Amino acid sequence: MQQMYLILLAAICIAIVFSLVRALLGPSVFDRILAANSFGTKTVLLISVIGFLTGRPDFLDLALIYALINFVGVVAVLKFARYGTLAVSGNASDGSVEQ
Amino acid sequence: MTEGIPVLTVLSGMCLLGGGLLVILGSFGLVRLPDFYSRTHAGGITDTLGATLVLVGLAFQAPDWISLVKLLMIMVFLFFTSPTSSHALVRAAFTMGLRPRLDNQDFDEQLLDGEAENQSHS
């Protein structure tokens, strides 16, 4: 089973390299955000697999926190890319901004 | 050859291999696909089926109940948030004027007309 975890770790690391390539190449800012989101999901998987590989399932708490931060971070970066600042309350459906 | 290996280990190994394959394929599509919207599709493969298969494969090997519950929580959370963030990403890209790459230019004009109607409503 340890070999299976090691194979999975190698697969996730290759996938992380691919998504880093997209984050560096990305022609638009949304490509970079998409690559960062995908990177975050792979980080969750990587931490879970490392926890099972080393026999410490407590690492799942860290994976859970990374999943939460990833979602909030993507939404925050999207809002920043749209408005240029985080200190507005905007309605995204019609694009209006209330200062 | 396979005698002595528990069924749970075989199931877990199959799920982990399938999940790792899907994660690599999704990331490869993230590099290779030509367009932002099709890249979103490739990222969705990694986020939904790849992550779920890897977490299910780990759940077969869970040593106690609490780690099983934690794995299920991660699975449910990813199941709900990854379509949400993909939808927000695509919607933000479309409203900020990023056009999909199309062969049919008439359809592109229809898209632009639809956006003009949306802006006249608001």
pTM for the complete prediction?
0.80
Domain that holds residue A17: 2-98
Structure tokens, B20:
């790792």
Minimal-distance CA residue of chain B relative to A75: B85
Contacts of A11 (CB under 8 A, 6+ apart): B20, B21, B23, B24
Contacts of B17 (CB under 8 A, 6+ apart): A4, A7, A8
Which of B23, B31, B35, B80 is best to mutate for the A interface (most A CBs within 10 A)?
A: B23
Task: Please indicate, yes or no, if residue B110 is contained in any of the structural domains.
Answer: no
| Residue among B58, B73, B77 whose CB faces A52 most closely | B58
Give how far the C-alpha of residue A63 lies from the chain's centroid of Cα atoms, to the nearest Å.
11
Residue B109 belongs to some domain of the structure: no
Using an 8 Å CB-CB cutoff, list chain B residues near A18: 24, 27-28, 30-31
Number of domains in chain A: 1
ipTM of the complex in this document: 0.79
Contact B74 A92 (CB under 8 A): no
The number of folded domains in chain B is 1
Please judge whether A68 and B77 are an interchain contact, meaning their C-beta atoms are less than 8 angstroms apart. yes
Answer whether residue B93 shows pLDDT above 90.
Answer: no
- For A67, the closest of B31, B74, B86 (CB atoms) is B74
> Which tokens sit at A94?
């019609």
pLDDT in tens, B108-120: 666 666 655 555 4
**Cβ contact (<8 Å) for A1 and B9?**
yes
Residues from chain B that touch A22, judged by Cβ atoms under 8 A, are 30-31, 39
Distance (Å, whole) CA A4 – CA B12: 9
The domain that contains A25 carries what CATH number?
1.10.287
Dump pLDDT digits (tens) for B10-63: 888 889 999 999 999 989 988 888 888 888 888 888 888 888 999 999 998 888
Give the domain range for residue B55.
7-95
